[in-house]
Amino acid sequence: MMNKPGATGLRRLVNATQYSIKGLKAAFKYEEAFRQELLLLPVILILAVWLSKSGLEFALLFGSYWLVLIVELINSGIEAVVDRIGPEHHPLSGQAKDIGSAIVMLAMSLTFVTWIAVIVFR
C-alpha cells in the first residue's frame, strides 16, 4: 500500500472541497459545452418537478441530466490531460478525445430515453 503524503481527516475533506470548487470554476471558465449544459439546468429542474409524479420519477429525470454534467467534467479532464501531453497530433490522443465525446453522447442518450420513458409509460 502506498503512503501518500498530505492532509488527513477534516483538513483532507476541506482541501478536497476546495479542489472540487476550483475544478467547477475552471470547467465553467474554459468549457463551452459545460456552460451550455449548466444553462439548461434550471429549465431541466423546473420541467422535472412539473413532469414527475413521484420522487422516483424526479430522481430519474433530474439525475439523468445531472449525469450529463458529470460526464462532461470527465470529458473535459480527459481533454485537458491529452492537451497537456503535447500539441502534436497522435492517433491515441484523438482516440482518447473521441471516446470522451462518446461518453457524453451516451449520457445524453440515456437522459433522452429516461425522459421519454417517464413521460410515455406513466
Residues annotated as part of the active site: 72
Q: Which of 51, 69, 70, 55 is nearest to 118 (CA)?
A: 51
Grid-cell match 440515456, residue found: 110
Distance CA 31, CA 23 (A): 11
